[in-house]
Structures are given as structure tokens and as C-alpha cells.
Amino acid sequence: MTTIKELKKDLQPYEKFVTLGPEVLTDAELLAIIIRSGTSDKTSIDLANEIIDGSKEGSILSINHMSLQELMNIKGIGKVKAIEIKAVGELSRRISKSSVPITKDLSSPELIASRYMEDLRHLEIEHLIMVMLNTKYKFIGDCTLSKGTVNFSVASPREAYIEALKNGAVYICLIHNHPSGDPTPSREDIKITKRMADAGKLIGITLIDHIIIGDNIFFSMKQKQLF
């Protein structure tokens, strides 16, 4: 019987997956299964490590941050392989988001953060999103209020509440990302939140929270009583 070590290196991740289970594979080995084959001088694991190590994150997050062209610039990664790798990243994002159905009561910061974590944690500039809820805290819709530079996002209460009124929202929640990975709110974040909360009180729409997404971590301003 051929042992794992005796297998061609491109096939080793497949055998480990079958015999030991996917949870024992490294990120590079899982990615190598998607890549399937290497080149004359590199195995699929070598290519997977090149993708992971060559990114600024130095982690599997690279598949969400690298463009098709950046992947194709790696010798051994053609257009088809690049598309397959990006498709896996997109699937993981959608699976994560689908774990929190829109039919759930979204009054808790944990649920809202879970729903938007994979959408926002990989972005390189700030995106400020407004989540709109009905009287039972059920999801009505969401919209992007602003896209800023890496460290600044501007929100207009007027535009936000026009959209909320148009959709019949009773409650809203603000949520935005910090590309640095640190969800600690800035003074500007707190200022915007207070301005939005005050504006909502005048028209009868309650701002229930402002959640900041970091790298797989979040900060709830409501929990910390910052407004």
C-alpha cells in the first residue's frame, strides 16, 4: 500500500483529506486541492504557499484580497485556476452570511456582526452600511451610505433617514469596517453615531447600534454605551 509520503506531492492533500479528514489539512494544503496541479518545478502546495505568503496578510485571506490578474501573475496559475480560487473565496463569504437568515430578529449586535463580517472584514477602504429593520427587528433591507478612504467615512443623516423612511424602517443599525483590523471607534465614528441618533429621535426612527467590524472581531457602540 502506498503511504501518503510516497505519493506525488500534488496528490498528498487529497489522500490526507480522505484518510484523516479536512480539518487536519493546512490552509496551503486545502488551497492546493483547488489548484490541483503544479508546474514542472513547483507542486500545487508550493503554488498555494506562494499565494498565501505573497500577500500582504500572509494568510489564506489573500484569496479574497488578490485580484484575478494578481493571481494570474503567479507562474502556474492560469485564468481558470484564478477564477476557481476566487470562486472559493466568494462561496465562503456567502456561506458565512447565510448562517444568519434575514428572517431572524436582528436586535443583537452579535447577529448583525455575524451577517456582515465576511462582507466587510476584507475591504481595504471603509464602507458605512445602514441596516433597516421593522417593528419586530426583522430585516427590511440595507444600503451603503458611504465609501471612504482607509480611515474616513462621511455619512449624511438626511440621506440616511430619507432612505429609511422610504423603506418603512422603524429601527436602523449602522455598521462599518476598519481596514486596519482594529474595531476600536475613532472620535469621528462616535461623533457620526451621536449625530445620527439625535436625527433619528426627531423623526421617530431609532438607531439601535453602530457596529464596527475589524479582523474577525467587532465593536458595539451600544454595548459600550457610547451614544
- The per-residue pLDDT for range 200-227, each reduced to its tens digit, is 999 999 999 999 999 889 999 999 999 8
Which pLDDT does position 95 carry in this prediction? 78
Residue 62 corresponds to which cell in the numbers above? 489573500
Give the tens place of pLDDT for each residue, 69-81.
999 999 999 999 9
**What does the H/E/C string look like for 117-166?**
HHHHCCCCCCEEEEEEECCCCCEEEEEEEEECECCECCCCHHHHHHHHHH
Which pLDDT does position 82 carry in this prediction? 93
Helix axes 44-53, 27-35, angle to 10 degrees: 120
Pairing outcome for strands 139-147 and 127-133: antiparallel
Which pLDDT does position 63 carry in this prediction? 81
Which pLDDT does position 79 carry in this prediction? 94
Residue 59 CA to residue 121 CA, distance in Å, equals: 14
List the Cα angle 113/115/119 in 5-degree steps.
95
Residue 118 CA to residue 114 CA, distance in Å, equals: 8
Q: How far apart are the first and last CA of the chain?
A: 66
DSSP 124: S
Low-confidence ranges of the chain (pLDDT < 70): 1-11, 55-58, 97, 99-103, 149-155
C-beta of residue 175 within 8 angstroms of C-beta of residue 211: yes
